Chains A and B, each alone.
Chain A
Amino acid sequence: MERAAPSPGLLQPGQREIELDVRTQDVEINMGPQHPSTHGVLRVLIRADGEIVTAAQSHLGYLHRCAEKIGENVDWLQYLPYTDRYDYLAAMNNNLGYSLAVEKLLGIEVPPRGQYLRTLIVELNRIASHLIAFGTYGLDIGAFTPFFYAFRERELLLDIFEKICGARLTYSFIRPGGVFNDAPPGWLQHVEDFCRQFEKKWPEYWDLLVENKIFIERTANVGIIPRDLAIAWGCTGPMLRGSGVDWDLRRDQPYLVYDRLEFKVITGVGYRGTVGDCFDRNYVRMLEMVESLKMVRQCLDQMPEGEVSHPDVGLIIRPAPGEAYVGIENPRGELGHYVVSDGSKIARRVRVRAPSFCNLSLVEHIMPGTMLADAVAIIGATDIVIGETDR
């Protein structure tokens, strides 16, 4: 088979150049769909010259469940549980994105307590999601133990979610008009206990994995995405901020109560390597956990009393004809919902802009020239959820 030369424009400075002095037969190898470190049923077809990847191509669709088409066939509210299932690690955020889009169509405002509860729980969910990202990234690099530590803390968060909505993974808690119910008695205290505990544990993770010499060797200067490339490919979230782009929808297009909260937008600074390498992406996620914790604390302090839902939104929603797009900052990037209403109780069109999907599109272009082990590190640093890329 003829070698498809990787286009030179995509090989970025700092990446290993492909050695051409010794030529052997290339191996075409399927990484996935059943593979321990493709985070689900992603299939990456890799052409490798020994240990060096010369070309890569990702194949999607193994988890396609027609989520968007289903949106055109069920009630506005009935679609909510399907949003849980795109990014099942951050279901609260998905609920929020869809709910905000529907509310924009309806033109209603959620009561303040509902807004604060939403912000609080979305940030908690972001911590849970980043914990998984950090833990599984350790697994990809070969360190098993951080994964269990991350799950220990995530378990506490799932307990918190279970207490407020009864579900541990697919919540459907945030819904058009507000949230499903108010926090049960003692729940806010429970969140505060978690904050205190997590604060103590976070430095352990930092020392155990992020400052580990082998981890730095494996991730720093690997899979560098320069600033302009990240923007050109529509990367969002930690993938974009890891490349040093200071862009966060929570600050730049505030929704909910983010304009009333103080937080820093974390960007990659090349702490241990070049700006935009795998280390930076993980670094951004690690520090975002701390920022989210700060936001949770502020939400707890500012939590007002009152209603949590808009009284006019019932089970049957009939928005006026029109369209709306709302993008929110999910743990993995900008989750956009574009919804079109024709005035009936069923949506005309529900279109989802999934952050993992856009982030993943770049992966196959930064892989050529790296080693096989780096390919795993790159996929891991992208932190994809296949439920979201395939929907």
Chain B
Amino acid sequence: MLTDPVTAAAPAPPQGNLWTDLMHGVFPDGMPWWMVAVLGAAVAFAAVMLFVTVIAMFSIWLERKVAGHIQVRLGPMRVGGWHGWAQSVADGVKLLLKEDVVVTGADRLLFKLAPALVLGTALAMFVALPFAPGLQIADVDLGVFFLISISSITTIGVIMAGWGSNNKWSVYGAMREAAQVASYEIPLGLSLMPPVIYYGSLSLRTATDMQAGWLGLHWYVFDPLHFWIAIPSFVLFFVAALAETKRAPFDLAESESELVAGFHTEYSGIRFSFFFLEEYAAMFVMSAVGAALWFGGWNFPGVTQMPEGALRDFLCVVVFTVKSMLLVFVMMWVRWTLPRIRIDQVMTLGYKYLTPLSLILVFAAAVLEYFLALAPSVLP
């Protein structure tokens, strides 16, 4: 029988407490490997689910407050007391309790599968995010590549939702989403290449570790030799990320004034809230990728130098989350300031401007790395 080497090798504790005694009694040879795997997956899922829910709820509350203050009003103020902090909780409960409506004539399978697929992919994206040295669910070698490819699966969910809803507006939303995401994948992927060339790795963990210099301020955007590539590539990445996450001014898939609500017109209750959660989860993931590749990930003066341990990990999570949320805030800021672009202008922007520009940047980054490699001794 296969046993997990870690648990199998661990000797039985001489003086156990109730938990260890129990475990020893039930599994004298240590836990079987499949149970470790299942438990690990369950714990990871619960952690991600909890984190995503909290982050998404906080983002929704923040979005409403940001929108409120930009629009000379206050936003939620009542629920929970302090500045309506419990508004998202109340909304979540309300959505949970609502009737689950599947419209007549809908493709029931697609209609029901779509929200699950969309939310599932959003959760899967969190796997590769480097929150702290000791807190990353999986250090995927192809981290960046993994994130882009997983985030594209969301589009399939959106198309399923639009097609399954038996509503013309939904189909329009789905088709726009398909066209838009397919065209913005290219600049998004290409704009991630300059940092990848700089780090020489696709792993987000490696990228973060390489930005630990200068007391934790040696971020890619601050590097004296690379900032002139880093800043434009970040701008390109950010614009493409906005389009990828269907945020304004690229929110054509659900453009309220044209398509009523786009692909989720017919959704209500908990299924609708899945789409909602996904939007904010995807925003956070895209911002987190930006924070990890351009803004040093968890590195920050004072945190980077701390001795390894739980406290450091906790502070790293805080730094990383705050950096990501700042970028999320910028996304909100953009949304409440700009009008929406038309679909043909979205395509023009993507293909005629962003793609060539990102190609130029990739080329420049490659050339720069080549010459830096030629003269390693002269330069820092």
- A-side residues, CB < 8 A to B, are 27, 29, 35-37, 50-51, 138-145, 147-149, 152, 209, 212, 214-215, 217-218, 371-374, 376
Contacts and interface: CB of A to CB of B under 8 A. Distances in A.
Contact of A142 (B70, B172, B339): B339
B336 interface: yes
A145 B70 contact: yes
B70 to A, nearest CB: 6
Contacts of A138: 339
Contacts of A148: 71-73
Given A148-B72, A214-B339, A372-B258, A142 B249 contact: yes
Contacts of B175: 50
A212 B249 CA distance: 12
Nearest to B336: A145
B22 interface: no
A144 B248 CA distance: 11
B8 interface: no
A36 B256 contact: yes
Interface in B143-177: 168-169, 172, 175
B67 A144 contact: yes
A144 B73 CA distance: 13
B258 A214 contact: no
Interface string B61-82: 0000001001111000000000
B258 A373 contact: yes
B342 A152 contact: no
A214 B248 CA distance: 12
A-B pairs, top 3 by smallest CB distance, nearest first, are A142-B340, A148-B71, A143-B339
Nearest to B337: A145
Contact of A139 (B73, B249, B257): B257
Contacts of A214: 249, 338-341
B287 interface: no
Nearest to A140: B257
A37 B73 CA distance: 23
A215 B255 CA distance: 15
A373 B342 contact: yes
Interface residues of B, number: 27
Interface in B298-349: 336-345
A215 B257 contact: no
B372 interface: no
A143 B71 CA distance: 11
Contact of A218 (B70, B251, B342): B342
A147 B72 CA distance: 11
B68 to A, nearest CB: 9
Contacts of B169: 29
A29 B258 contact: no
Contacts, number: 76
17 contacts: A36-B256, A36-B260, A51-B344, A141-B339, A142-B338, A144-B336, A145-B336, A148-B73, A149-B71, A149-B72, A212-B338, A214-B339, A218-B340, A218-B341, A218-B345, A371-B343, A373-B258
Interface in B323-379: 336-345
Contacts of A376: 257-258
Contacts of B72: 148-149, 152
Interface of B: 67, 70-73, 168-169, 172, 175, 248-249, 251, 255-258, 260, 336-345
B377 to A, nearest CB: 47
Which of A51, A138, A217, A374: most chain B Cβ within 10 A? Answer: A51
Contacts of A35: 260
Contact of B340 (A27, A141, A374): A141
Contact of B71 (A29, A145, A209, A372): A145
Given A139-B257, A145-B337, A215-B339, 16 more contacts: A29-B168, A37-B257, A37-B258, A51-B343, A138-B339, A140-B257, A141-B339, A142-B251, A143-B339, A147-B71, A148-B73, A214-B341, A217-B341, A373-B340, A374-B342, A376-B257
A143 B338 contact: yes
A37 B257 CA distance: 5
B343 A373 contact: yes
A217 B345 contact: yes
A23 B169 CA distance: 20
A373 B256 CA distance: 11
Contacts of A139: 257
B46 to A, nearest CB: 37
A242 B71 CA distance: 29
Nearest to B169: A29
Which of B257, B338, B339: most chain A Cβ within 10 A? Answer: B339
Contacts of B168: 27, 29
Contact of A144 (B71, B260, B341): B71
Given A141-B339, A214-B249, A217-B345, A372 B257 contact: no
A209 B338 CA distance: 8
Contacts of A374: 342
Given A212-B339, A218-B339, A371-B344, A141 B257 contact: yes
Contacts of B341: 214, 217-218
Contacts of B342: 217-218, 371, 373-374
B173 to A, nearest CB: 11
Nearest to B176: A51
B164 to A, nearest CB: 17
Contacts of B71: 144-145, 147-149
A145 B258 CA distance: 17
A209 B260 CA distance: 22
Contacts of B70: 145
Contacts of B339: 138, 141-143, 209, 212, 214-215, 218
A148 B336 CA distance: 11
Nearest to A212: B339
Contacts of A218: 339-342, 345
B73 A142 contact: no
A51 B256 CA distance: 16
B261 to A, nearest CB: 9
A148 B74 CA distance: 12
B353 to A, nearest CB: 13
A214 B73 CA distance: 25
A373 B175 CA distance: 14
Contacts of A140: 257
